[in-house]
Structure 1
Amino acid sequence: MGKVMGSRAALVLGPVLGALVALPLPAQAAVRPESLPSKSEWLKDVAPVAASLQDYLTHRLAGGKSNEKPAIVLDIDNTSLATHYDRGKPIEAILKATEYAHEHGAAVLFASYRDPNEQDATTRELTAAGYTVDGLCLKPHGDSPGKAQVKLGCRKKYESQGYTLVANVGNRSTDLEGGHYEKGFKLPDYDGQLS
C-alpha cells in the first residue's frame, strides 16, 4: 500500500513540481546607491564588529608568545577609512582597535586592491587619518589575479616576513578569502554595494 501511495504521489506531484521549476523567476532590481544606509546607520552596523575585534585583540594579544611577531591586517576602503561616507576620515572604532593592537605589540598592516602607483598617497592618507602603517601591500603592476588573490598574496607576503596574522579585517568577502590569518572580521558591505 505504501508503495502504491508513493507512486501515485509521484505521478501527481511530478508534473506540478516540473511546472513550478519552469516558472520564470522575477527579475532582480538593479542595486542603486541610494539603497545604502545613512552614515549613522552604517556606523551602527560597524560597531558590533569593531567591538568584537577589540575584545578579541584584548584576549589574543595578552596571551602572545614571546617569540611571536603579531600583526593585524586591514583592508582600507570602507574598512579603515570611511571612503564612501567621509573620504579620508578614519572609521573611529577600527582606528581605536588598531591603536590598541599597536600599543600591545602588534604591527598594523594593510592589504588593498588600490593601484600600486598610489603607494605613497595611500600611506599619507592612512597616517593623516591617525593610523600607524607598519606595512602596506597593494595590487601588483600589470595584470592582476583578482581581488581575493591579491589580498591572499599580501597576507602570504606578511607571513613570509615573520608576522603571525592574528586578525584580518575587511568589508568584502574577497578581503577574507583564502585564510592565512587566525580570525577574520567582516564589516558590512550591503551585498557588495559598499566597495
Structure 2
Amino acid sequence: MRKSLRIAGIATTCAVAGAALYGTGAATADNAGSRHTSEPQNIALLVRQIDEYYGASQDADGVWHSSPDSPYAKDLARIQAKAKKDIKRAAAHAGKGKHGKKPAIVLDVDDTALLSFDYEKRTNFTYNNDTWDAYVKAAKRPAVFGMPELVKYAKSKGVEVFFLTGLAESQREGAVTNLAKAGYDTKLDPTHVFTKNKPNPPAYLSHCATPAAWKCDTVQFKEGTRKHIESTGYDIVGSFGDQASDLAGGYANKTYKLPNPTYFVE
C-alpha cells in the first residue's frame, strides 16, 4: 500500500465539503423541516478547484505539473518560512536542553518531499497498488516546492535530516534515487531513510509488528520510528507531513502539516 491506508481524495473531500456546504439541511416536500440532505460537492467542480489550487498544466509528454506561482506553492512557502524560523531558534539552543541531544527534522516522502500530483491526475485520483509501485520505482517525481531548500537550510544550521515514509522496503531504491534526483543533498542511507519493512520489521516496532503479522497503523509506525530516532541521540525539533497521520503520536517538538487535498490517509 502507498502508506498504511489510501483513501481516494476526491470521495473523501466531497464528503467533507458536502457536510460543510449542506450540513444544515434543506426541507423536503414530504416532511418539511425534519429531514436533512447531505449532497456531496459536485465532483467536476471539485476537480476544477484542485486543478486551480495546484495551477495544473500538462506538458507535451502528457506529464502533469503544478505551478510555482500556484496557491499551493504559496501555502507551502508560508509554512516553510515559519519552519525555518523555528529551526533557526531550535538550532541556536541545541545542546542546552534534552540532555544535549542533536537537533533533527523528520520528513514524510509522498507529497511532503516528492510531489505525486502527476500520478493523481493520470489515475483520476484513484489509487492502485501496481500503478503506484511502478510510478515510485520510475523515480521521476519532482520535489515539493521549497522542500530541498528547507532541508539545505536545516543542514546549514547543524540539524540532521531523516525521511520517514510509508513506502514499502521494496520501494526504497526508487524513493532514494528520486530524492537524490530531486535535489535532496543529504544522507539517504537506511539510517536516514525509514521505510515500512513488513517482511522484516525492526525491533523497535515489536509492539505492533512481527515477521508473521504487521499490525502497525500509520500513526503507530511513524510514532514508533520517531521514538527510535530520538533514542539514538536526536531531538526532533520539527516533523513534516501532508497527512495528520504523518504527524500524530508525539516525539517531535513541532509539527508542520503541508497541504494535500488529493487523498487522505488514516
* Cα root mean square deviation, aligned: 2.4
1:28 is the counterpart of 2:40: yes
What is the CA deviation profile of residues 112-167 of structure 1, one whole-angstrom value per residue up to 9, with x for unaligned ones?
Answer: 11111111221121122121135111123153522222211221121122211010
**C-alpha distance in 2, partners of 1:101/1:133?**
13
1:74 aligned onto 2:103: no
SS of the residue 2:167 aligns to: coil
Q: Deviations over 1:67-118 (max 9, x none)?
A: 3211100011111112215952222422111111112211110111111111
Change (3 A) 1:33 1:154: farther
Q: What is the DSSP-based 3-state SS (H/G/I as helix, E as strand, rest coil) of the residue aligned with 2:245?
A: helix
Provide the rounded CA distance (Å) in 2 between the counterparts of 1:100 and 1:144.
Answer: 36
Separation in structure 2 between the aligned mates of residue 104 and residue 156 of structure 1, nearest angstrom: 23
Could you tell me which residue of structure 2 aligns to residue 55 of structure 1? 85
Q: Does 1:193 align with 2:247?
A: no
Deviates more, 1:137-146 or 1:121-130: 137-146
> Which amino acid counterpart does residue 170 of structure 2 have in structure 1?
N
Partner of 1:104: 157
Give ranges in structure 1 of 5+ residues lacking alignment.
1-18
Equivalent residue for 2:237? Answer: 166
**Counterpart for residue 29 of structure 2:** none
1:42 paired with 2:95, answer no
Output the CA distance in 1 between the equivalents of 2:168 and 2:153.
Answer: 29
Asked whether the 8 Å contact 2:76–2:258 carries over to 1, the reply is yes
Structure ID, larger Rg: 1
Distance 1:95 1:101 in 2: 10
Q: Determine the C-alpha separation between the residues in 1 that align with 2:101 and 2:161.
A: 15
Are 1:133 and 2:187 an aligned pair? yes
Q: Check conservation: 1:33, 1:193, Cα contact below 8 A.
A: no
Counterpart residue type for residue 76 of structure 1: V
Distance 1:96 1:194, change over 3 A: farther
- Matched residue count: 175
Partner SS for 1:112:
strand
2:263 aligned counterpart, secondary structure: coil
Tell me if 1:89 matches 2:119. Answer: no
- SS in structure 1 at match of 2:143: coil
Q: Identity across aligned pairs (percent)?
A: 27
The one-letter code matched in structure 1 to 2:219 is A
Q: Normalising by structure 2, what TM-score?
A: 0.59
TM-score by length of 1: 0.79
Contact 1:166-1:181 within 8 A present in 2 as well = yes
Show the counterpart of 1:5. Answer: none
Task: Write the distance in 2 (CA, Å) between the matches of 1:88 and 1:60.
Answer: 31
Matching residue's letter, 1:133: K
Contact 1:82 1:88 in 2 (8 A): yes
Is the contact between residue 57 and residue 101 of structure 1 (CA under 8 Å) also seen in structure 2?
yes
Work out whether residues 75 and 170 of structure 1, in 8 Å CA contact, stay in contact via their aligned partners in 2. Answer: yes
Structure 1 residue 182 displacement after superposition: 0.4
Question: Which structure dedicates a bigger proportion of its chain to helix?
Answer: 1
